[in-house]
Structure 1
Amino acid sequence: MVIPDRRVRNAATMARPAAPHARASLISAARAEFVKKGLKGARIEDITAACGLSKGAFYLHAESKEALFAEVLGEFTSELQTLIEQRRGETERFFAEHGPVEARDVVERSARYELLLTVSAESDLRTLELLWSYRDVMHVLIRGSQGTDFDTVMWSFVDREVAHVSQEFQRLQASGALRTDVPAEVIGSLIVGTYVLLAQRMCQTEEKPDLAAWASSIHRLIREGCAPRESFPAESAARGSAPASSSRRAPARALSRTRSTPRSGP
């Protein structure tokens, strides 16, 4: 995400206070107030009252509420960028070591295909964990930054990530591992949009959800919704009693079973 330069410069040059516990309490109170009232509506006196500090003490830790939010946002974006770069590195290493995933890998559920799913799911879980930690920041960027220097930060980031995810899917489409009748940019928008909405959903609950189950569900939807058409008979066989090999020898029977027998699970 791109943070306004002026805010970053202000936060970076601000003198560090000598009371770290008071500072942590102030940041926590500010984050809660930003969620409730947005950046423009939040008042410094309400933030300091919530953490037992005087209004004057606020300026020992930040020169403005916007500078304080910029600092928290900077921490979040730095960690998020680290995860993005880590995922890109893992993906590049995977293809360098194992070669491209092709339609046959998807149909046969090859070890290479399953390994790619595992690598992707682990990366998605790390991202969800980070979003949980900064769910309030995401909420402010989505719904509480209007009329401030931060009101376009979220959507600039979304546009960049949609483009990146689309490029990843174009590579899989080119190798035949994903269906080609859906534009890659639509898939990218769907995936990035899903994470944005899940982050917003996180902010509406105090109890941490089962993020591993969320990551698994996301991948199940992506895998089954984007699989090439020739993988469907094998999918049916994998869920039924016939082995995958017999499914590939008689795809018509496997497809017939899929249509006539309702699925009992996800």
Structure 2
Amino acid sequence: MPRPSDPHARARLLDAARAVFSDRGLDRAKVEDITTRAQLSKGAFYLHFGSKEEAFRELLAGVVSHLERMLDESSSKQLSVAPGDVATIRAYLDACHEKNVEIFAYIWENRALMAMVLEGGGSASYQHLIEDFAQRAQRQTAVLLQHGVSLGLYRTDFDLSAAAAFLAGGFDRVARKLVREPHRPDIDAMMRQVEALFLGGLARRDVLDVLNREEQKLSGKHAVERGESLAGGGVTTG
């Protein structure tokens, strides 16, 4: 009686392929490496994939698809913010920051595979996947910039298309730098620095001044609270 096939074999092979490609790269990886790690036969591999390149393509498509979902969720959340006062703009910026951190944390956690994704797997056969994603990100950035203008956050005297291309390209370079870092950086601080640079170039000066004053007040309040906490705890110096 034939043994029933493993319903989880495909997932196990993909998990193993992810690890092998991350360790060895696509060119040096072998099907035997994948099947050994998955504890499955080569026959099981070829039952699901025609080649290691096909397995890599599926992994690549999965990563890009996940990034697209995160990008769509981020855009939906930001576009749901209606025009209002400065507090509304702050909530909008906080939502942007939260999703940026989430996206770049995902990139870091999958940095070995992401490094190959950003290079299109080193082959024109895969390059279009990341190029399609980059174009989609640029289009969504243009929509978000227009929404920021309607919120009263951004100036109106810049070219939306050019600004979107610049911003999307900037985040692409940050991602490429991130995947080469030997140790996990402070992604929250990194995103705040990047966002501050972009905001400084695009935000209305009067809105930026108000946001900066609020930030200074908040920083001062936190400093006072920390001081009171230390005093209450009986901490002394000298």
TM-score by length of structure 1 reads 0.65
Paired amino acid for 1:168: L
Shift of the alpha carbon at 1:140? 1.6
SS in 2 for 1:179: coil
In structure 2, runs of 5+ residues without a counterpart are: 1-5, 218-238
Partner SS state of residue 151, structure 1:
helix
Alignment root-mean-square deviation, CA: 3.4
Residue 195 (str. 1) matches residue 171 (str. 2): yes
* Cα drift, residue 125 of structure 1: 0.9
- Contact kept in structure 2, 1:179 and 1:227, CA below 8 Å: yes
- Quick one: which of 158, 161, 164 aligns to 2:140? 164
Query: Is the contact made by 1:33 and 1:47 (CA closer than 8 Å) also made in structure 2?
Result: no
**Per-residue displacement from partner, 1:120-179 (whole Å, max 9, x unpaired)?**
111111111111123233322333534442122212211121111112112322454212
Q: Which residue of 2 aligns with 1:134?
A: 110
Aligned to 2:129: 153
Unmatched segments (≥5 aa) in structure 1? 1-14, 242-266
Corresponding residue of 2:192? 216
Task: Give the 3 Å change call, closer, same or farther, for CA 24–159 of structure 1 in structure 2.
Answer: closer
The equivalent residue for 2:15 is: 24
Greater RCO (Cα-Cα under 8 Å, separation 6 or more): 1
Query: In structure 1, what is the Cα distance between the partners aligned to 2:54 and 2:126?
Result: 11
Q: Which amino acid aligns with 1:193?
A: G
Identity %: 18
Greater helix percent: which structure? 2
1:74 aligned residue: 61
The alpha carbon displacement at 1:206 in A equals 3.1
Cα distance in structure 1, aligned partners of 2:113 and 2:169: 16
- Separation in 2, partners of 1:115, 1:153: 33
Instruction: Summarize the Cα distance change of 1:196–1:119 in structure 2 as closer, same or farther, 3 Å threshold.
Output: same
The alpha-carbon deviation at position 234 of structure 1 amounts to: 4.6
Among 212, 225, 228, the alignment partner of 2:201 is: 225
**SS class of match (2:91):** helix
Aligned equivalents of 2:216 and 2:192: distance in 1?
Answer: 21
- 1:198 partner SS: helix
- 2:1 aligned with 1:42, yes or no? no
Which one of the candidate residues 74, 80, 88 is aligned to 1:93? 80
